[in-house]
Structure 1
């Protein structure tokens, strides 16, 4: 449940969304809530048929919904073909975070003399801006965050508390980096001499496009030689690991705990479910969706939905199936012999 520090009218909201309104245009709205919990000064939304039961009894001041549900809505409504998108846009109006931003440099921040800060930049307490860093207009650097030497942050980018942007990283406009994420740490590169490991210096960087969001405690490693490249409008959830020299195309989305090994290329408009693992040096073409907890060990050259592994089942059944899995190779060979004999 959200409440804004100010109120808008339904007319303001309809105008912002560019949709028709059915109801009192002057009704004041102070926030957003679910159909079940909304009060008369809040807006709710309906995107899942499972919540139709809550629509009949909602006390919301108005509801965002698809036109097919308009006849069953007992309160004022705003009709959209994509109510969830409308909710996403509306949520920005009630987000209290931008209102708390203060421009300028906190006395407890450390900013190198040769760093460049754009107009309207906010650098919070205990943040560090290292030598040669360039911050665009209206960049927000949260408490305890570090912007490494010679890195660049595009206008409107926000670093929440305790974000680390290492040296030589380039981040586009309007990026959002959540607490604990590390952009540009060393890739996992070592050479083995038969007895010990020897570190390979990671000489590349990381480039993030515009409108990228990176969740908390996620890591995007710098390239070994060339750069690790993340396209524009890529959304990365929390606790995701992206190894050195990975490339991810525009508009792709990665859910929590995804792991991508080095030099793999993910196309545009791809979606990787929670816990998906991609082996190294693979290519996923545009429009690939991989369902949660799948392991991808070969390149994918056709768009579509891909899965691996098995769903949970009773342990005794799983143990039987595991035994049969070990027998598959022998069964396949026997079948091949039978088919050859039949021919």
Structure 2
């Protein structure tokens, strides 16, 4: 061992005195109070409670470089793909994978909580080639309904059941003869009776699967009932209709108007919204108001004309000012090359929408 390690002075001329060693750190007092625990993160208003069976872990949070629109498109494709595969289960006695569907609903809710990309992906009234309309329609309604449900005051305990019902509410349509939906507006008396039986048929299938949430079967069976008793299959009215059935019925109507099962051109979103506002006796005003808060009178995707004569496309709504959304302003030939010109009408007092652009004027 060296002299330095031993702390001994070497022989010869004495050097400067060594500095005194630093005192050891004081031991913590046993009676010192423990630091307070970190505050819990605030609970999201959209998270849903667990199903009666454990659900898969939610997808990891996206990194900042992930394209939100692409992520929403992928998530929506996974959802309607899962629903499409459930069609085979309606024909046999296999158990339904409620845990897997609950996982999809969890991921939908998490995405809606993070931003609006999934909502507008579901809102887009375009059926991809080769995709089953019933599956796609149910996925659209489920996503739209979950978003509107929060505005309507749903708490987290109710969102899970609503999401499950929204994914399965129209499975009774798979029991109808092939092609019947293609001419839905011109059904014979016998075909109309078959169509009006689909809510009961869907409810019977879901009951057989043993749903994990109360009210699921009732919501599916009643989604065509209306406030004044003018719906089917039972003619229930008012408080006799399950709240989830009312919300699903509203979004089912809106989604069917903008993307019909027949394959015919859909009603423009702003016209569908106005039609729902006019149908005062069909749905509770509070639900229609909640839908309006999400879609506005001019929903995203609506072509509009400004008071300057310019045209553009609505890209985002303003909940506080429904008539003053954000608009991508076009030039005479359509969308501008390069960076788009986005105008927030709530910050442009001298600009306003004079009305939608008709299909013939585009």
Which structure has more RCO (C-alpha within 8 Å, separation ≥ 6)?
2
Whose helix proportion is higher, 1 or 2?
2
Q: Which has the larger radius of gyration?
A: 2
Q: Same-fold call, TM > 0.5?
A: no
TM-score interval for Structure 1 and Structure 2 normalised by the shorter chain? under 0.3
Report the TM-score when normalising by structure 2.
0.22
